[in-house]
Amino acid sequence: MLGFIIQRFIQAVLVMAVMSVIVFFGVYAIGNPIDIVIPPDATQEIRAEAIRRLGLDRPLYEQYYYFITNLLQGDLGRSFVYNMPVLELIGGRLPATLELVLISVISATFLGVSLGIYAGYRPDSWVSKTIMAVSVLGFSVPSFWVGLILILFFAVNLGWLPAGGRGETVEIWGVAWSFPTLNGLSHIVLPAINLALFKLAMMIRLARAGTREIMLTDTIKFARAAGLSESTILRRHLLKLISIPIITVFGLELGSTLAFAVVTETIFSWPGVGKLIIDSIGVLDRPVMVAYLILVAFLFVSINFVIDLLFALIDPRVRQGAVA
Amino acid sequence: MTEPVLFVDNLKTHFFTRAGVVKAVDGVSFELAKGEIMGLVGESGSGKTVTGFSLLGLVDAPGRIVEGSVRLNGTELTTLSGAALRSRRGREISMIFQDPIATLNPMLTIGQQMKMAIDAHERLSDRAAKARSAEMLTQVGIPSAAARLRAYPHEFSGGMRQRVAIAIALLHRPSVIVADEPTTALDVSIQAQILYQMRDLAAETGTAMIWISHDLAVVSSLASKLAVMYAGRIVEQGPTATLLRDPRHPYTAGLIASLPATAKPGTPLTQIPGTTPSLLSLPPGCPFAPRCANSADACNEDPQMTVKDQRGWRCFNPVGRNAEVSA
Query: Is there a domain that residue B296 lies in?
Result: no
- For B103, nearest residue in chain A (alpha carbons): A219
Q: With contact defined as beta carbons under 8 Å apart, do A160 and A154 qualify? A: yes
Lowest mean pLDDT among A162-176, A276-290, B145-159, B240-254: A162-176
A217 in B contact zone (CB under 8 Å): yes
Residues B71, B46 share a domain:
yes
How many C-beta neighbours within 10 Å does residue B310 have?
Answer: 10
**CA–CA separation, A179 and A174 (whole Å):** 15
Q: Which residues contact A122 (CB under 8 A, 6 or more apart)?
A: A128
Domain membership of residue B46 (yes or no) is yes
Residue B49 falls inside a structural domain? yes
Q: In this structure, are B151 and B188 located in the same domain?
A: no
CA-wise closest residue to A154 among A111, A102, A189:
A189
ipTM attached to this prediction: 0.87
**β partners of residue B306:** B313
Residue of A nearest to B94 (CA): A225
- Residue at a domain's end among B237, B266, B295: B266
Mean pLDDT of chain A: 85
Listed by number, the residues of chain A in 116-135 with a beta carbon closer than 8 Å to a beta carbon of chain B are: 124
Expressed as residue numbers, the domain containing B123 is: 106-171
In this structure, is residue B307 part of a structural domain?
Answer: no
* pLDDT tens, position by position, B252-291: 888 888 877 777 777 777 788 777 777 777 777 888 877 8
Cβ separation A226–B107 shorter than 8 A:
no
The per-residue pLDDT for range A20-46, each reduced to its tens digit, is: 888 888 887 777 777 777 777 878 888
Tell me how close the Cα of B39 comes to any Cα of chain A, in angstroms.
20
Q: For residue range A81-100, list pLDDT tens digits in order.
A: 888 888 888 888 888 888 89
B55: closest CA of chain A, how far (Å) = 10
pLDDT at A108: 94
Total number of domains constituting chain B: 2
Coil, strand or helix: which one is B229?
Answer: strand
Tell whether B200 and B70 lie within a shared domain. yes
Burial class (CB in 10 A: 0-12, 13-18, 19+), B109: middle
Q: How far apart are CA A125 and CA A119, in angstroms?
A: 8
* Cβ burial, residue A176 (10 Å; 0-12/13-18/19+): middle
Is B180 in the same domain as B50? yes
Cβ pairs bridging A and B (under 8 Å): 92
Q: Note whether residue B121 is domain-resident.
A: yes
Residues contacting residue A126 through CB under 8 Å, at least 6 positions apart: none
Residue B249 lies in a domain: yes
Residues B155 and B15 in one domain: no
pLDDT digits (tens, 9 = 90+) for A69-79: 888 888 888 88
Tell me: do B110 and B165 sit in the same domain. Answer: yes
Q: Given this model, what pLDDT does residue B77 score?
A: 86
Assign residue B75 the CATH number of its domain: 3.40.50.300
Report, as ranges of residue numbers, the positions in chain B whose pLDDT lies below 50: 325-327
Where among B244, B266, B288 does a domain terminate? B266
Looking at the structure, do residues B161 and B182 belong to the same domain, yes or no?
Answer: no
Residue A101 has pLDDT above 60, yes or no: yes
- What per-residue confidence (pLDDT) applies to B2? 65
The residues of B whose Cβ lies within 8 A of any Cβ of A are: 53, 56, 58, 60-61, 86-91, 94-99, 102-109, 116-117, 119-121, 152, 154-155, 165, 168-169, 171-172
pLDDT computed for residue B321 by the predictor: 59
Residue of B88, B154, B169 lying closest to A322 (CB–CB):
B154
Express each pLDDT in A202-250 by its tens digit.
999 999 999 999 998 889 999 999 889 899 999 999 999 999 889 989 9
Inter-chain residue contact A221 with B103, CB threshold 8 Å? yes
Which is higher by pLDDT, A160 or B117?
Answer: B117
User: Are B209 and B249 contained in the same domain?
Assistant: yes
